[in-house]
Chains A and B, each alone.
Chain A
Amino acid sequence: DQQVKQNSPSLSVQEGRISILNCDYTNSMFDYFLWYKKYPAEGPTFLISISSIKDKNEDGRFTVFLNKSAKHLSLHIVPSQPGDSAVYFCAASARSNDYKLSFGAGTTVTVRA
């Protein structure tokens, strides 16, 4: 049962524009959310996270938004750069589940020059 879903397997965006990646979850007990970025032949790298007590967290060009009522989060990358081309994974954890991470299937982002 996939509790974290990334319904868009791929996203193509022009350099300098905004990339918006979406993630939905079904488990209302999730209270901590993370985004990871993965290049080919490398392990995922932690990008940004957000606690359920917040609705926004910003770190440089990356901003994560959380809408708990909709069980939805999104990652905004502004402006998009060629080095942002990678696979992005959304992940969630719950204190009640001992913080075990559940991952989405990933979204492949391609930034066009």
Chain B
Amino acid sequence: KAGVTQTPRYLIKTRGQQVTLSCSPISGHRSVSWYQQTPGQGLQFLFEYFSETQRNKGNFPGRFSGRQFSNSRSEMNVSTLELGDSALYLCASSWRGSQRSYEQYFGPGTRLTVT
């Protein structure tokens, strides 16, 4: 079974630009969550999508948005990039049929650098 894939793996953008990151979940998984990882901060939850609907949202500004398509693939968009948005962005998928399904499966991440 193919794992979670994220594209692109690396990205360099300048302040003020916008960026779109893509995530393809494991086949059969309907939930996709996005996290931001920065040094010393662990994984900060951005949002979760389930069946094309945003189900949960973390404490990030409105510049961070996402969506999910009917095939469960998800995209995350960050507008008006700031230097502090430089981070590893991780996508995770899960089945979400029972509590054990919250054993999320992560992709390799997209390393975003804002200059």
Contacts and interface: CB of A to CB of B under 8 A. Distances in A.
B102 A101 contact: yes
B100 interface: yes
A103 B106 contact: no
A9 B92 CA distance: 24
B4 interface: yes
A102 interface: yes
Contacts of A51: 99
Contacts, number: 58
Interface string B56-69: 10100000000000
B102 A105 contact: no
Given A98-B55, A103-B42, A42 B90 contact: no
A105 B40 contact: yes
Interface string B15-41: 000000000000000000101000011
Contacts of A95: 99
A43 B109 contact: yes
Interface in A1-25: 4, 6, 9
Nearest to A4: B42
Nearest to B58: A100
B41 A105 contact: yes
A41 interface: yes
Given A42-B108, A43-B109, A101-B45, A93 B102 contact: yes
Given A100-B56, A104-B42, A105-B42, A41 B108 contact: yes
14 contacts: A4-B42, A42-B109, A43-B4, A43-B108, A44-B43, A46-B103, A98-B56, A99-B102, A100-B56, A101-B104, A103-B35, A103-B45, A104-B42, A105-B41
Interface of A: 4, 6, 9, 32, 34, 36, 41-46, 49, 51, 89, 91, 93, 95, 98-106
The 8 closest A-B pairs by CB, nearest first: A43-B106, A105-B42, A103-B43, A103-B42, A46-B103, A100-B56, A44-B106, A99-B102
Given A41-B108, A93-B99, A98-B56, 11 more contacts: A43-B4, A43-B92, A46-B104, A93-B102, A100-B48, A100-B58, A101-B33, A103-B42, A103-B43, A103-B44, A106-B42
